[in-house]
Structure 1
């Protein structure tokens, strides 16, 4: 195998380690996502280095069909052909519906009868969307929808109701240094 020099992105170097190459020019993939800055748009055609589709797919942990599809797109359209085409499907909620959902989420779960833990779960948001707009989402779809609009997962701190902050501070100041 030909020695890989500094012209390759580091992920491409990693993908090439231990790969046996054939005699044809190649398109090598350094990242799995086609629209990633170091993705197929940074594939390098080099004579004498062409790992098999199976090898590239295994190294990048993607399906062989993805590698074949990306190579074909690169050959036919170059870099522009590899750019993201956007989400597979259009969003079910209109901008107006999303604004209303956002406002309801900000009101909190208590406003919708979830008094036990004051947390929005994906299941609860799914139910809320169904009640407000009569639109069905999957749990995964709700997660993607919220992420797309800037909401992130928040895990509440698990603290006992009986927790005494003053006693803890006193213990940390007096007992802990002695330990």
Structure 2
């Protein structure tokens, strides 16, 4: 039965009984162990209670509490990535960009499961896909026409604004 934490110094360090500690901390005490591990005394206390009640087996990581995932591990880590590899256009979307909303629709259609877009972002993180903001520029955008407008039209508009009455209020 585990009653007191014991600490052994590394090789070449003074034995535990000669290690200086603060006056209210014994070597192996909860406060000292908590300080050494960077944890709270409460956490150390809980671990000690678990060890007392169930031994080393009780200290092993247990499953997380909470609702089980809507998608199975296989669907999330194997099937979903292979579907996404087919590309958005395969599923009827315009453009070659996956958004969280689009992925959400694919999950709903293919697996019959609904998620909030924020959860879809977490799922994409889990499967190694980075979230990216799509560039909202048209494929039919005419860069030369835009440059001409900036060089010719904008200065003309700016000049007329400077001369017109009442525009000084807007500055």
| TM-score interval, smaller chain | 0.3 to 0.5
State which structure, 1 or 2, has the greater radius of gyration over its C-alpha atoms: 2
Q: How high is the TM-score relative to the length of structure 2?
A: 0.44
Q: How high is the TM-score relative to the length of structure 1?
A: 0.42
